[in-house]
Amino acid sequence: METFGRGCLYLIVGFIVIMILAFITQSTIQIPWFLLIPIIVFVFWLASKKNKK
């Protein structure tokens, strides 16, 4: 459960950073689904690795 919470936290922080970047540049940022799915998998893999240390 700790891995899930940490993964969600990483996704939320990443989303906030992307939103701030879009606000500063006053543009829209589109991430295609074929890039979004591997990013989500990578974030949860990274969170699980952090848990094993």
Would you state the pLDDT for residue 29? Answer: 84
Q: Is 53 helix (H, G, I), strand (E, B) or coil?
A: coil
Mean pLDDT over each residue of the chain, to the nearest integer:
87
pLDDT tens by residue, 23-41: 999 998 888 889 999 999 9
Q: Which residues contact 25 (CB under 8 A, 6 or more apart)?
A: none
Would you state the pLDDT for residue 53? Answer: 57
**Domain layout of the chain by residue ranges:** 2-52
Element (H, E) at 27: none
pTM comes to: 0.74
Would you state the pLDDT for residue 31? Answer: 83
Q: Which residues contact 46 (CB under 8 A, 6 or more apart)?
A: 7, 10
Q: How many CB atoms lie within 10 A of CB 6?
A: 17
